[in-house]
Structure 1
């Protein structure tokens, strides 16, 4: 699964508005933001980069004023991390990823599950973006660009789903990338603090996963942020499969 997830990451980055490929790395950039989670690189499976390759990659980020940063499955490219660390890259995080297949998917009982909707209007996409910004405690600010990215994800073959708040707006939601390499990545599952504990995350996760299977994906994968969220995903049918490594180059260490 590590190779499949890594190949997916490459294909997904190549969908970005600006792509740079150098020395066995693929970097995907989003020009309307400097958010490091939307501007990063990943290696080709099995690549063994040189110091010169890493320097060229760093240059691609620095000339755009961005933090040099990578996300990848280390087992798919074991020769990469040592060379990056030698260049000064440090570990941001190591995340376990979980995978769901059509055979493991467990849909919540409809009588007990919140009603999940598909955003269709500009207002709904904006409300979803705002809800996710609040759910992730201000890690990113709600914006017209964020709402537009959610809309593009859906238009390009991915999906977004949300649960409406009782007083209007969005209580929680998520999005899923378009399938590639027979898999898809479900990301950004978030619920506003006032509505947590009501089964929203599980309902949205199940709905998005089911939608990707209906579009022919053989699996869907995601990363979790804590044991609480892991339990939610496991109830839906997600199972541990591997790890993903996040590395970045601190500004004080840039050559």
Structure 2
């Protein structure tokens, strides 16, 4: 209706993991609190969300949870944060962590982030503006190997396959760990995750396995091409160095109009 106003979706941030590949940097710090360009990775993520009008957050924590709570509570005021704890972070993976966000999300639209991704705010604006309800951000300019989460899509960018086991030769590109899940798909996704986690054999599954199962049940996902925009996932010291090169200054909260002015000035 004309008088209704748009409500930005909630943001679910998965930050339960240990970050073992970044040791010794993560011996005394959670990975998402490591600094990139003068700002913590998690701070960059939250401020990018705030720049896009997203002010409600669900943080799924595990390893060093108190450290993250303290950081968020001290750094941010006026945002709504629900903390969810994965007590089994040692023997589970992102699928289990995402399942735990179910009660906090319910049937709401939400954005899902891996807490170790740094990204240009333009990526998030494109995702929110995308008309499709269920969307995976995909970079086509990536050398695809076993580690990458690969996406196969048709000519209309409808996702056909997603996962690490996808044939790289068939893939459009890499899913970067940032997605939008619509209100209709959210309960279906959480139900699928819950069903998966009933079997201990799936406790180490990534959340993409649930996306794949939903695709088989005709729940549509679309790929959003973000090729050319800056982002990187931080798993290793080499990744951290790349992040510093891409994002060399502290993060700031920038409104859409301010971003448009910056873009026009750069032309």
- Output the TM-score relative to the length of structure 1: 0.30
